[in-house]
Every structure is written in structure tokens, then in C-alpha cells.
């Protein structure tokens, strides 16, 4: 009666959403203040003041056509501002023709993959990774190839990566700062990855695109600087959103940026615009394109996230958890206290702790915690972790 493929995929529903819904159920029973929900990367705080100022400005201005269609690529002045910012970061010449506004990063990734992939072509991802990459690749006729995790550092496992590139490889997706580990990929790793890609392109006579999924690129700690992707990879495509950096997850606003170094970049840009329309997105939300441009340089409260990171990391390691200290994003990815992390996560539910199994990110044995939550919740949860740990001693 319905799509067999979709019905089958429902059985593999995202662990993130499963735990989030379980958290809502427990909150109704015990009260929200007695439930410690680390499941969803959904920033609880309000957006920067620049967002509300921009909304007020545009809504009260009476400007004509505020809610009408525009080019499927988005407003030229918005794209121009984003291009200028990226050019300053990377040193690569960019203009509005290199930018397509999208319905969030998820929409943007689907647009990019639709524009790039022929049926059966391969997209490489590095474990641990955001599990819905599988869906996006499958949506557009591709096949996901997973590089096993290097659990010592969670940097890209380049030895395995090199072995997995084939004549069918069309693209590689990276995500740094990473969801779920919070690790920032080092400049050394990225440059080595680029050399491997160039070597394999020559060997197979193909083009391999590097897709950088960057929703956490403004959330970096300890003064660390990110390596601009376009300065390292020739065939670079950036997909970004304002969901995390500006706290606008529900507004679904993002963009695609393509390097001007890509051969036939103009054809790729037109393909992206076409796919933006024909996938049914049509164009990114009109009002929030303008808001995102106005708030492009707004500062977010990194200190708040960093304080939460430090508190959680300190307490979890004190209790015996092994964990790499995050360098960015707002996730911790500790090793479970038993081999079966799904069992561990289920046992944590007894203490109203909502954690996400690492299997959902292609990395069993670990679990993810999202700390973009209220600090009071984090502090109150430590006693629950203390009780949980006692079960495994």
C-alpha cells in the first residue's frame, strides 16, 4: 500500500528522535526538571539580539514584496554578502553566483547530492557521522561508503579512506566540528585527505567533490581556528546553516557555496538552482534570508557552551568515562561502560538520562550527549550519572 522502502526505513528510525520522544514521555510522568535530556542538538537559548532587531526592521518597514518569490537561488544581495565573508576566510574569489540559499543544511545536502550523483555512484563518509547522511545519499540514488572510525583521536581514518576510494566515488562528506564527537579536523588531516583525493582522481580519471557540512563552524573553543575548506580542496562545496550558530533550527535557513576553482562551476551552480526548485524547496524562506544576512557577523555565546563542556567533561571523566574533549560543536561522545552501548543507554533511562547510542552514528560502543541545554539540567544530572555508574562497578 505504501512505499516498501520507506516502511522498512521506519524500522531503523533515528535514535536521536527516538530518545527525544522518550524524553517528552518521561517529562509528562516525572516533570521536566527530573528528566535529563541530552538527546537532541536543539539550542535552547534565544538567538542573538541582531536576529530580533532584523526581524523587527523588516516586518515593520512595510517593504513591498517581503513574502514573494525571488530567484530560486535566493536574494542576490544576501548571496553577495555570504560570498564576501567566505572569500575573506578562504582567499578564494567568490561572488553571488557561487552561493545558493537553501532550506537548512539538510535541504542543501539533498540539493547538492541530487545535482552530483548518477545512480549507483558512491559517497564516502567518516564514522562517526550524522546518520541521516545515509538517507540523503539514498534519496538521490547514491551508495554510502563508511570509513571506520579512528577511536583514538576521531580524526579522519585516512589509511582506510584511501582503500575505499573507487572509480565510482563521486563525493566525500566531512563534518568539522563534528557531530557527534565535537572534534575539529586538523589542517594536517585535511591536507593529507586532499592529496589522497588528487592521487585517486589522477588514477581513475575522475572528479571527486569534497562536501563540507559546516553548521557548527562558529562554535569552536579555546581559540582554535578552523582551516578554510576551499583553501585546501579544489572541488570544494560548503553546505551550511544558521540553525546552530544563530539558534534558528526551526526556521530552516542555510546555503550552499561552491568553489570558483571547480571546473564548470557555472554549470554546477545552475544544476543546484534547478534541483533546489525541482526537489520542491523552490527557494529558501524569504524573510529569514534577509535576517541571516543581517546577523551574519553576530556573536554567539561560546563561553556558555565552553563552560558546559568543561563541567560535563570534568565530571564524566571523574566518574570513569573515557572521552575526547570536544574542540567545537556542543556534543560529547563518551565510551559506554559496557560493550553494548544500546543496553547501557537503556539502563540509563532508569535514572531519566536520555543519551543516544553510538550505533546511530556508525560507531558502536559510544554514546552521544548534546549539551546545548540549560546548565541547571546538566548540574542536576550528575547525581543520576553517579547512580548509573554504580551499576557497573
**Mean pLDDT, contiguous 10-residue spans, the chain (393 residues):** 82 69 73 84 86 94 90 98 96 97 98 99 98 95 98 98 99 98 98 99 98 97 96 98 91 98 98 98 97 92 95 98 98 98 95 94 97 96 98 86
Q: Report helix, strand or coil for 331.
A: strand
Contact (Cβ atoms closer than 8 angstroms) between residue 266 and residue 99: no
pLDDT of residue 13: 62
According to the model, what pLDDT value does residue 239 have? 99
The angle at the Cα of 306, spanning 301 to 311, to the nearest 5 degrees, equals: 135
Task: Give the pLDDT score at 19.
Answer: 73
Radius of gyration of the CA atoms of the chain, in A: 21
CATH 3.40.50.1460 for domain 4-47+300-391, yes or no, is no
Name the nearest CA neighbour of 373 among 26, 20, 103, 49.
Answer: 20
pTM, rounded to two decimals:
0.95
- Tell me how far apart the alpha carbons of residues 364 and 226 are, in angstroms, rounded to a whole number: 28
Domain boundaries in the chain?
4-47+300-391, 50-295
Q: Report the alpha-carbon distance of residue 316 to residue 123 in Å, rounded.
A: 35
Give residue 40's pLDDT. Answer: 84
Between helices 49-60 and 286-294, what is the axis angle to 10°? 130
* Total residue length of the chain: 393
Query: What are φ and ψ of residue 307, in 5° steps?
Result: -65, -40
Q: Does domain 50-295 have CATH number 3.30.465.10?
A: no
**Residue 206, SS3?**
coil
Rounded Cα distance, 78 and 62, in Å = 19
Query: Edge-to-edge strands of the sheet including 331-332?
Result: 331-332, 367-370, 356-357
Which pLDDT does position 321 carry in this prediction?
98
- Identify the pLDDT of residue 214: 98
Amino acid at each position: 500500500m505504501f512505499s516498501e522502502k520507506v516502511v522498512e526505513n521506519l524500522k531503523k528510525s533515528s535514535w536521536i528522535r527516538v530518545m527525544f520522544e522518550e524524553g517528552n514521555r518521561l517529562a509528562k510522568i516525572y516533570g521536566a526538571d527530573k528528566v535529563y535530556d541530552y538527546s537532541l542538538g536543539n539550542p535552547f537559548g534565544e538567538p542573538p539580539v541582531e536576529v530580533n532587531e532584523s526581524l523587527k526592521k523588516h516586518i515593520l518597514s512595510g517593504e513591498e514584496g517581503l513574502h514573494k518569490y525571488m530567484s530560486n537561488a535566493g536574494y542576490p544581495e544576501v548571496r553577495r554578502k555570504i560570498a564576501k565573508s567566505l572569500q575573506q576566510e578562504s582567499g578564494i574569489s567568490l561572488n553571488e553566483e557561487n552561493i545558493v540559499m537553501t532550506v537548512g543544511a539538510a535541504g542543501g545536502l539533498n540539493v547538492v547530492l541530487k545535482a552530483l550523483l548518477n545512480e549507483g555512484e558512491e559517497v564516502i563518509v567518516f564514522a562517526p557521522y550524522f546518520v541521516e547522511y545515509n538517507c540523503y545519499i539514498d534519496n538521490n540514488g547514491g551508495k554510502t561508503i563508511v570509513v571506520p572510525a579512528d577511536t583514538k583521536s576521531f580524526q579522519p581514518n585516512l589509511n582506510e579512506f584511501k582503500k575505499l576510494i573507487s572509480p565510482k566515488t563521486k563525493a566525500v562528506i566531512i563534518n568539522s566540528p563534528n557531530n557527534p564527537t565535537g572534534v575539529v579536523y586538523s589542517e594536517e588531516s585535511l591536507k593529507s585527505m586532499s592529496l589522497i583525493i588528487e592521487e585517486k582522481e589522477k588514477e581513475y580519471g575522475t572528479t571527486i567533490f569534497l562536501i563540507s557540512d559546516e553548521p557548527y563552524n562558529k562554535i569552536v573553543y579555546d581559540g582554535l581556528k578552523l582551516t578554510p575548506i576551499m583553501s585546501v580542496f579544489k572541488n570544494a562545496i560548503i553546505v551550511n546553516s544558521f540553525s546552530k550558530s544563530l539558534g534558528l533550527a526551526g526556521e530552516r535557513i542555510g546555503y550552499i557555496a561552491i568553489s570558483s576553482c571547480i571546473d564548470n562551476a557555472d554549470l554546477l551552480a545552475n544544476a543546484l538552482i534547478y534541483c533546489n526548485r525541482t526537489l520542491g524547496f523552490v527557494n529558501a524562506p524569504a524573510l529569514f534570508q534577509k535576517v541571516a544576512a543581517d546577523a551574519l557577523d553576530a556573536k554567539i555565546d561560546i563561553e556558555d557552551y565552553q563552560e558546559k563542556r568543561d563541567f560535563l567533561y570534568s565530571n564524566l571523566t571523574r566518574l570513569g568515562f573515557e572521552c575526547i574533549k570536544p574542540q567545537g560543536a556542543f556534543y560529547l561522545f563518551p565510551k559506554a561502560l559496557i560493550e553494548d552501548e544500546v543496553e547501557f543507554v537503556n539502563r540509563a533511562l532508569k535514572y531519566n538520562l536520555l543519551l543516544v547510542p553510538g550505533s546511530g552514528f556508525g560507531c558502536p560502543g559510544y554514546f552521544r550527549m548534546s549539551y546545548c541545554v540549560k546548565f541547571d539540567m546538566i548540574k542536576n544530572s550528575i547525581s543520576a550519572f553517579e547512580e548509573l555508574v554504580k551499576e557497573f562497578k
